[in-house]
Structures are given as structure tokens and as C-alpha cells.
Amino acid sequence: MEKGNVIAIDGPSASGKSTVARKVAAALDWLYVDSGAVYRAVAWRVIQNEIDPSDQDAVATHAREIQANFFVESGAVLFEMAGERPGEALRREAVNRAVSPVAANPVVREIVTDWLRGMRELGNLVMEGRDIGSVVFPEAAFKFYLDASPEERARRRHAETQEGLSVDAVGASLQLRDQIDSRRMTAPLTVAKDADIVDSTGMTIDDVVAVILERVRLARET
Ligand code: CDP
């Protein structure tokens, strides 16, 4: 298959997108892209520069100056921002708190959307996010919307975090981000009209991966 095909996997926090998208990409030998990591990296730069994440003008000015470099490594599209690879810093609670206001900034969205579209030059993509099927690649061949109950999502994220927060505190942090992500004016979290919805509550990761791969296989055969 030529490069530049896209499988979009959208959904709220901790719906299982990352693990599922990684496995789908590995099974197809396509490149995995975590678009949330790119927004997190912009938020991380904003915090490092002591800019208030909700100061729209200051964030926009800073975002325009960021030099980002994207490359392929171990089956994924990774990046350096301002010459640095952010690594584990992206998952810190300070970044969790800053990322939704930063990602609601229309200038940040325009810049990151351009970066994400440019990644098609690197190969076939399995890209996870909030607006991949609706805004970034509305023409994507495959669009999935992954969901799970709020309780299940809080449990899953709690099992991954290492900052000693309770399940309730993790659930509250997720809920706050979901609200900002769903209510923002630019590219809110929505189900693209032609997306397949998969509710992963009670499903294993491998069940979800199998559902997606089966749909892709069927579509390729017809
Ligand atoms: O890993 P988790 O699902 O918690 O979040 P993420 O995918 O790392 O995304 C972090 C934040 O980036 C989200 O809460 C959104 O505010 C923003 N985001 C976005 O606005 N659009 C995307 N395509 C991806 C992420």
C-alpha cells in the first residue's frame, strides 16, 4: 500500500486509544502517532517557559516560535521540540492540568494540525487523538471512536500513574479534561459522523484491536 493512508482513532482520556493504536499499527506495519503527546509537548514548553496556560496571546506567541522536528523510530512518529525530547515529563500531573487549556487555543490547534498532516509524508499512519477523524484527516479511510465508562477510565489511568493519587482524584482530573476538550470552540472532542464507535468497557485491549483489524480487513477486501 502506498504511504499516506490514515486510520483515525479518537476518544476521551484513558479510553484505551494509545495501547490499541500501537497494536493496530504494529499488526499492519503502519506508523503509530500519539497526537496527544504533541499537544502535551506544547503544554510542557509553556510550563517550562513559565507562561500561564490560559493566557491565550502569550501561549499563541510562544507556540509560533517552537521548532519541532518529527522522525520515525521503532514504528512510531516521534519528535524533538526546541531541540529536546520531552520523554516521561509529558505524563506529569502539571502537564495534565495545562494541556487542555493549551489545546483549546486556536493558534496551537492550527500549528499542531499542520504538523500532524505533514506526517503523512513519513508513511501510513495510525493516529490517535480527539479530532483526527473530524478535523485533521476528515478523508481518513478508517475512523474509530473508542469509549469506556468514566469509572473504567479512572481505574485504567490510576493503574498507570505513579504520583500517588487516589482513583477518585485521577477520575476528577480526567473529567475536568473531558469537559474542556468537549466544550472548547475549536475542534472539540466529537464523534466524526462516519466513525465506528467501539465501547471498550468490559472488552480486553486485544478484543478491541481484533474488532478494528477485522473492519480494516473487510474494507480492504471489498
Ligand atoms: O492520554 P490521554 O488520553 O489522557 O490524553 P492525550 O491523548 O495524551 O491528550 C492530552 C490532551 O491533548 C487532551 O486532553 C486534549 O486536551 C489534547 N488533545 C487534543 O486536543 N487533540 C488531539 N488530537 C489530541 C489531544
Region 180-189 average pLDDT = 90
Residue 195 DSSP code? P
- Cα–ligand 1 centroid distance for 93 (angstroms): 13
Does 135 sit in the ligand 1 pocket, CB within 6 Å? Answer: no
Question: Reduced to 3 states, what is the DSSP secondary structure of residue 198?
Answer: strand
- Cα–ligand 1 centroid distance for 186 (angstroms): 14
- Residue 221: how many other CB atoms lie within 10 Å: 6
Beta strands in the chain (DSSP E): 6-10, 31-34, 68-73, 76-81, 125-129, 142-147, 196-199
pTM: 0.92
Quick: pLDDT tens for 70-100: 999 999 999 999 899 999 999 999 999 999 9
- What fold, for 6-216? Rossmann fold (3.40.50)
Q: Ligand 1: which of 19, 39, 128 to mutate, judged by most atoms within 8 Å of the beta carbon?
A: 39
Torsion region of 83: left, alpha or beta (phi above 0 gives left; psi -120 to 50 gives alpha): left
pLDDT at position 104: 95
